[in-house]
Structures are given as structure tokens and as C-alpha cells.
Chains A and B, each alone.
Chain A
Amino acid sequence: MDSIFGICGKDWVVVACDTAVNRSIFTLKHDDDKILSLNTNKVLACSGEQTDRYQFSNYIQKNLELQAYLTGHELSIEASAQYMRTELAKALRKAPYQVNCLIGGFDHLNGEAKLFWMDYFGTLQQVTKGAHGYAGYFVNSVLDNNYQVNMTLEDGINTLKKCIVELKTRFIMNQPTFIGKIVTKEGIRVINLTE
């Protein structure tokens, strides 16, 4: 029931998520960061069961780090996303990670920002905007209507805020706080999207 969604411009990408951890009828935690910063230019947002989220995102992060040490070369955003897909697909027939992901990052090579959408079956797609789970039912139309090529980072953040307003008015889940992570040439910045 986690809400994660994101939007991507030419040289920026923002990924947002709610911060609640729910278990049976309880909210266990109100301030969980579901977006892991993989390094200084890549973020991985996961929705799903806490344990799978934790395990998968940390597994990926540590392995990307190891590969960087071994090869002296950091994978591009696309290559990282493809690697995650492979790992999810490998796990699918054994002990699947029940995680749906958004991967956002800024490629220093060509100065482009990218956003990838991936579900737990291993479907990987490059997108300009994306959302997972129930939140997607409410948020996708908002994203579609507000997306523009060449939109600015500010427009992007405003769009995400509109998404949150929609979730708060129509979605049954209690998700009081949202955080976002912005990836640009300068690196990763955290913003509080709850107003």
C-alpha cells in the first residue's frame, strides 16, 4: 500500500514516497525513508513489504558499490536499472522480492536525467513519469496532465505536490507525510513534500 511516484525532466528527476510502515492494522512507523540513495547520482524507491524492500535495495546498493571497486567504473543509470531487473528476474522463480521500484538518476556522461519503472516481475521501462500500486490509480492521470517536455524542476515538484493533494483527498490510506528526492547534476537533495 506504499505510494511511490516520480517525474523526470531533461536534467532532473524527482521521486516521491510516503513515509509510513504498516503492519496488519497498525502503522508501525511514520518516518521511514523508502528512497535509498544508491550513490551521489542514483536513487532507488521501493514499495512492498518492509523486509523485501530493505533486503533488495541494500543488496543492490552493496553490489553496485562492489562492482565499482572491482572495475573502477560506475554503472550508468540504465545499466544499473538493467542489473536490478536481472536480479529481480533471477529471484522471481526462487524467493521473489515483492518490491516495485522506481529508479531515478542523472547521467554525467550525457547530462541527462532518467527515470525507470520496474515491477516485481521484472518489467523494466524507461518513463518520463511513473507510479506504483494503488497510488498509481489516483496519480497517473495527474502526472499525465501536468507533464510537459522541457518542464522545469519547479514544475516537476509542483506536479508531485498536486499528486499528494489528490491522494489526500481520495485515497483511503492514511499517509500524512511524503518525502521526495531530487537528482540533478549537483547530486541528491531531499525535500519534504508535506505542506
Chain B
Amino acid sequence: MWMGSKEHYDRGVNTFSPEGRIYQIEYAIEAIKFGSTAIGIRTNEGVVLGVEKKLPSKLMEPAKSEKLVEIDRHCGCAMSGIVGDARILVDHARVEAQNHRFNYAEAMSIEQITEAVSDLAINFGEGYEGTKRKPMARPYGVALLIAGVDDNGPQLYQTDPSGTFLQWQARAIGSGGDTAMTYIKESYHSNMTLAEAEKLVMQTLKSVMEEKIQSDNVEISIVRTDTKRLETRTQEYVNNIISTLA
């Protein structure tokens, strides 16, 4: 007897299909593809994160740093997908980063931060027996680009709802992610300067965005290798880059 293969196996978050897939996780990954585009590029001088801020109505106030946030002073995070879910993950990352400083008097490495986020991301469903904290009932429908500088230099990671995390030289996620990746692949080279990377991020955003790129609908942040500090670029700075774009 044939049944639509998804019909039964996409009900529970912890049920495999006979082909070995967990559909709910795959659906969650789909949620990211509706999200606004977020781009990260790693260079030797530092890392750049850039996001598109969608303004559904002219009446909406452009929110400050909603999709590009600080995790610790050496680490930033861009997101695509369900922003509410991301807030939980980001808050967890911040607390873990501060706990690390408290316990070990040093900054948490970018990989460890990413790992902490992925640990929480995969902890959905019924949760561990005996733990008091109620886990999320479903996967987190968001992907994060986590970028920063630690003892191993500038780094860029991406997490997704399956708890997988991968390290990248350049990565784009969200609705324009695939197009952006092909675009970046053409121009990226490993000894780019930070300024070139910033421009590439903006140029890529411009090419994938539906709306006209403006200083109030994009946002970029950088972490420099020498200062190891997260800096958010001002609107003037963004405007200057936009004026140089092709």
C-alpha cells in the first residue's frame, strides 16, 4: 500500500522516515529560505557581517540592529529565518560567553560559541529526562552566521536548525542566499582587504535585494583582527559604500 511518504513521518519532531530523514528539521531549514538575506565574509584583516532589513511598510520604524547583534565584544551574529527563535539562541550564546569570561577570565572562542548555540538548537523535542528546563517543542527555524576574532584569528561559522555548524570563508543565507553565494564565489579571494569585503557584501546585497539598497535597509558590522572588537558601521559609512557600488 502506497502512502504519500511525508504524510506520516512529518508529524513528530523525533520520527525518522524510512529514507532516514527527519522532515520537521528539513521544514525548519526551509523557513530560513524565506528569511531576509544575511552575508558574512572572512578576510585576514577581520570579518564582515551584513544583513538586509526588510521594511514591509513605510510607516514602520527601521529597528536598530534587529538582525545583526552583539554576542560579546569580540563576536557578532547575523540571522535569517524566524527572528523570535534567533533571540533565544542569541541570548543563550551571550550568557554562555559571559559565563566563560566569568569562569576562565578569557574570551570564549568563536567555535565554542557556535557549539553552544548548536547544542541548544538540537535540544528540541521532549528534552532530557530529569532536566527542569522545558526544551523547545520544535526545531528553531533560524540560521545564524556567527563571526568574530579569537586566538585563532578571524572566523566565520554558520549554524542551522539541525544543530550542524560549518566554518566558511564566505557565506550567504536567507532568501537570496543561493544567488548571493554564486555572486560571492566569483569575486572572493583569500587575501581580500576588509574594505573590499565590506564592498563585496554590499554589492552582493544590492544584487539580491528586491528593494533599492539604502542606508536604512541594510546594516553591516565588522570585527577587526587587530582590535578584536565588534564595530557597527554608521549610516554615513554605509551610504559612502553604496555610492561606490556598480
Is A in direct contact with B (CB under 8 Å) within the complex?
A: no
